[in-house]
Amino acid sequence: MKVRPIGNGIAMEVTGLTLWEPIPERVCASVADLWSKSGVIVFRRQALSEAEIVVFSRQFGELDIIVRTDWQSESQPEVTQISNMKDAAGRSIGGLGAGELDWHSDQSYMRDPATGSLLYMVEMPREGGRTYWANLSLAYASLPDDTKARIEGKHGVFDYLKRQSTYDDEAPMSAELRRKTPVVAHPLVNRHPVTGAPSLYLDPTTTVGIAELPGEEGARLLAELNAHATQPQYVYAHDWQIGDVVMWDNGLVLHRRDPFNPATNRLLKRTTFRLPPSRHIVPTGYSLDGPASAA
């Protein structure tokens, strides 16, 4: 295994591993240690079945089945299909379409989010669809001291209804999905359990305010934080290739995607897993309108 920093050190590229084969425990431990310190890890030139994706992912945390069961693989319920493609009956085979996806953090709308995510590229268009990750620990470190003091102890308010409204071809939120995704609040600042370094926890597509501040004041502060955290110096831009595997830590980074031509096919396989809170930032929030479910 070899490791090299990419994207100004915001991501780490790992070479020398074939992820479809059993990986020695000591090597997995090395990858886990690397991931604890870096928000994004990239593997190139992989060839994985859905079952192999699940086996690899399980080495880093307990797999989670997300609330969007309509995006599930038929053969592996732990695998989510990210795609604009449709089946013979005209039904979408996955989610998130072809349009631009704004900056967000997976599962931030859950009280106890599963913060580990993995994407495996299966089919892609020739142009578009680049993905970006923004490091929220680096962004926090450069905030003015008065802003750091202002956000300490504050909680962002996260509502999945806001995020769902940005998705193409989405039906109105069902009562069942609303039950699974009540409005929740998370600390705006978390500290890494190993290094102690503070980090922001943001999600522009999902946050609707700050619990301790009046509506407009909270919205202005969130807008300032979002603009600061997504400046180019904190961002890694990934140009996809078929066979890429990218893992990231949603407690440490935001991500977004460029649009691409909807007439072209794009398909990725995703797993979501619970990273150990002894090694990763795992935000813990509280529900604002009923018990949150991590189903």
Model confidence at 291: pLDDT above 50: no
Helices of type H across the chain = 25-37, 50-57, 136-141, 145-151, 160-164, 175-180, 215-229
Domain coordinates in residue numbering, the chain = 2-287
Q: How many CB atoms lie within 10 A of CB 9?
A: 12
Residue 231 and residue 17: Cα distance in Å, rounded?
32
- Strand partners for 131: 238, 257
Average pLDDT for 78-82: 92
The whole-number pLDDT of residue 74 equals 80
What does the radius of gyration of the chain's CA atoms come to, in whole angstroms? 18
90-120 as b/e: b if 16+ CB within 10 A: eebebbbbbbebbbbbbbbbbbebbbbbbbb
pLDDT at residue 23, as a whole number: 93
Please provide the average confidence, as pLDDT, over all residues in the chain.
Answer: 90
- pLDDT-based confidence at 294, cuts 50/70/90? very low
pLDDT at 293 exceeding the cut of 50:
no
Q: Could you give the count of Cα atoms lying within 13 Å of 145 in the half-sphere of its Cβ?
A: 0
Supply the pLDDT for residue 8.
Answer: 87
Fold for 2-287, please state it. Answer: Double-stranded beta-helix (3.60.130)
Q: What share of the chain in percent tops pLDDT 70?
A: 94
Between these two residues, 56 and 75, which has the higher pLDDT value?
A: 56
Q: How many CB atoms lie within 10 A of CB 175?
A: 7
When pLDDT is cut at 50, 70 and 90, the band that residue 66 belongs to is: confident
- As a whole number of angstroms, the distance between CA 145 and CA 197 comes to 15
> Would you place residue 275 in the very low, low, confident or very high pLDDT band (cuts 50, 70, 90)?
very high
Quick one: pLDDT at residue 292?
A: 36
The pLDDT value recorded for residue 112 is 92
**pLDDT confidence of residue 163:** 80
pLDDT in tens, 97-122: 766 588 999 999 999 999 999 999 99
Q: Which of 67-71, 97-101, 233-237, 247-251 has the lowest mean pLDDT?
A: 97-101
Instruction: Report pLDDT digits (tens) over 1-42.
Output: 999 999 989 999 999 999 999 999 999 999 999 999 999 999
Interval 135-162 mean pLDDT: 96
* Mean pLDDT calculated for residue range 200-210: 95
Distances (CA, A) of 249 to 8, 22, 281, 282: 18, 23, 8, 9
Closest CA to 248 of 225, 230, 269, 272: 272
> What residues contact 86, with CB distance under 8 A and at least 6 apart?
92, 93
Per-residue model confidence (pLDDT) at position 208: 93
Task: Write out pLDDT tens, residues 150-185.
Answer: 999 999 999 988 887 766 666 677 777 778 888 999
pLDDT at 98: 67
